[in-house]
Amino acid sequence: MTSIEHLQQQITDGIAALTRDQQWITLLELTARTGSRYSLGNLLLIGAQRPQATVVCGYRTWRKAGRQVRHGERGIRILAPIIARRPRPGTEPGPRPSGDTTGDATGAVADTGTTGQPTPASGSGAGQRTRRPGQVVGFRPVVVFDIEQTDGPPRPGDTAIDGYTPQGLREALTTQINHRGYQVKVGGCGPAFGRTRRTDRTVTILPGQPPAQDALTLAHELGHLACGHLDDDTGYTHRGTAEIEAESVAYILLAAAGMDTTAASFDYIGTWAQGDLDLLRTTADTVIRVARPLLAALDLAPAELTTPTAAAADTTDATTGTDLVAGT
Ligand SMILES: [Zn+2]
């Protein structure tokens, strides 16, 4: 198995492991993404109503973050605890909890304000509240929305990757994009990190991102171009397939350059694959066929080529690459 095939296999295996029990994984991912802000019950509710949710917040929290919930979007219903207010030190004991439920949630949904109680200005997320934890005296339904249901700029640094980025990689990726008749621009393309447009033949990347994220974005857009996703006016016929292919190519290119984008790439691929391992497998041929000449063209220094054994395998296969591709 060549290093390229090995890396592609890693993607398939990685996603397979992730999707073995999709519901459970959804739960874990939601837990990770939402920073354990939600109870198990609410994670199940979110998972059941919108399994691909990444970041969920109430309507007003999104507004504060500069994002607008799109008209007609259906909210995700979860349960917010009703907390009994505790007497503050130095004050008279308050009324009994049953008579003094503030109704403001301890979760990120506090700002939904369905109780008619004023909520603190800092109610943008759970765990930020300074109020002493009180007794949960009940629950009420509140509505939250996933970030995908909103419009607005990406939140800087939210999911951008960072870390080691080889010198010259950005230039090498840009050159490959140029060779395909596209120019690289830096500019607005939110909520994505990058965008490739056929009409004016541009690849636009979001400003102010870490070099590693820029490399991943460029490699991803290059992947789209190299896979032929923009070869006709109809756009991507199968968006999921196109995104999986582009990100898989990017993962392989950057892994060969010594970067580890496993977390970001697997997450992205997993989101588009939605547990469909057959879909993932159908992309393997294209990914390997496209990645091979790109790796050669990027001409990374041998020392930067992944592990020594993988680098050696690459050299060996370089001469028989066409045969391997033709055979698939
Ligand atoms: Zn894409």
Can you give the chain as a three-state secondary structure string?
A: CCHHHHHHHHHHHHHHHHHCCHHHHHHHHHHHHCCCCCCHHHHHHHHHHCCCCCCEECHHHHHHCCCEECCCCCCEEEEEEEEECCCCCCCCCCCCHHHCECCCCCCCCHHHCCCCCCCCCCCCCCCCCCCCCCCEEEEEEEEEEEHHHEECCCCCCCCCCCCCCCCCHHHHHHHHHHHCCCEEEECCCCCCCEEEECCCCEEEECCCCCHHHHHHHHHHHHHHHHCCCCCCCCCCCCHHHHHHHHHHHHHHHHHHCCCCCHHHHHHHHHHHHCCCHHHHHHHHHHHHHHHHHHHHHHCCCHHHCCCHHHHHHHHHHHCCHHHHHHCC
In a domain, 49, yes or no: no
How many angstroms does the Cα of residue 159 sit away from the middle of ligand 1? 15
Domain C-terminal end among 121, 151, 181: 151
Does residue 232 lie within any of the structural domains? yes
Assessment of whether the complete model's pTM goes beyond 0.75? no
Residue 51: inside a domain: no
Kindly give the distance from the C-alpha atom of residue 224 to the centroid of ligand 1, in angstroms, as a whole number: 7
C-alpha 100 – ligand 1 centre gap (Å): 51
Whether residues 261 and 313 fall in one domain = yes
* CA 243 to ligand 1 centroid distance, Å: 5
Q: Is the pLDDT of residue 103 over 50?
A: no
Q: Return residues with CB closer than 5 A to ligand 1 (ion).
A: 243, 246
- Measure 207 CA to ligand 1 centroid, in angstroms: 17
**How many angstroms is it from 281 CA to the middle of ligand 1?**
18
Query: Does residue 116 or residue 188 have the better pLDDT?
Result: 188
Res. 110 pLDDT band, cuts 50 70 90: very low
User: 117 versus 79: which is more confidently predicted?
Assistant: 79
Residue 311 pLDDT class (50, 70, 90 cuts): very low
Stretch 33-54: mean pLDDT = 68
156-203 pLDDT, tens per residue? Answer: 335 678 888 998 999 999 999 999 999 999 988 766 889 898 989 999
Pick the range with the lowest mean pLDDT from 13-22, 216-225, 267-276. Answer: 13-22
- Residues 265-307: pLDDT tens digits? 888 888 788 777 888 888 888 998 999 899 889 876 544 433 3
Tell me: pLDDT of 68 over 70.
yes
Full residue range of the structural domain in which residue 278 is found: 3-15+158-326
The reported pLDDT for the residue numbered 212 is 94
Domain stops at, among 115, 134, 151: 151
Q: Which residue has the higher pLDDT, 207 or 91?
A: 207
Same domain, residue pair 321 and 173 = yes
Where does the pLDDT of residue 105 fall: very low under 50, low under 70, confident under 90, or very high at 90 and above? very low
The alpha carbon of 126 and the centre of ligand 1 are apart by a number of angstroms equal to: 32
Q: Note whether 10 and 98 are same-domain residues.
A: no
* Span from the CA of 190 to the centroid of ligand 1 (angstroms): 13
Average pLDDT over residues 240-261: 89
Mean pLDDT across 131-144? 72
CA of 195 to the centre of ligand 1 (A): 7
103: left (phi over 0), alpha (psi -120 to 50) or beta: left
Say yes or no: 145 and 162 in one domain: no
Cα of 194 to ligand 1 centre, how many Å? 8
Categorize the per-residue pLDDT at 22 as very low, low, confident or very high, splitting at 50, 70 and 90: low
**Do 145 and 177 fall into the same domain?**
no
CA of 198 to the centre of ligand 1 (A): 13
Share of the chain above pLDDT 90, in %: 20
Cα(221) to centroid of ligand 1, in Å? 6
295-302: long-range contacts at Cβ-Cβ below 8 A with a sequence spacing of 24 or more? Answer: 295/4, 295/252, 295/253, 295/256, 297/176, 297/179, 298/169, 298/172, 298/173, 298/176, 298/253, 298/256, 298/257, 299/172, 300/166, 300/169, 300/172, 300/256, 300/257
Q: How far, in Å, from the CA of 10 to the mean position of ligand 1?
A: 20
Q: What is the pLDDT of residue 101?
A: 28
84 vs 236, more confident: 84
204: pLDDT confidence band, cut at 50, 70 and 90? very high
pLDDT score recorded for residue 31 = 59
Number of domains in the chain: 2
Quick one: pLDDT at residue 30? 59
Q: Which of 134, 151, 168 is the last residue of a domain?
A: 151
How far, in Å, CA of 6 to CA of 303, rounded? 18
Do residues 124 and 244 share a domain?
A: no
How far, in Å, from the CA of 312 to the mean position of ligand 1?
A: 31
Backbone angles phi, psi at 315, to 5 degrees: -60, -45
| Per-residue pLDDT at 320 exceeds 80 | no
Residues 141, 104 within the same domain? yes
CA 320–ligand 1 middle distance (angstroms) = 30
Does 128 score more than 50 pLDDT? no
Average pLDDT, the chain: 71
Q: Are 79 and 98 in contact (CB under 8 A)?
A: no
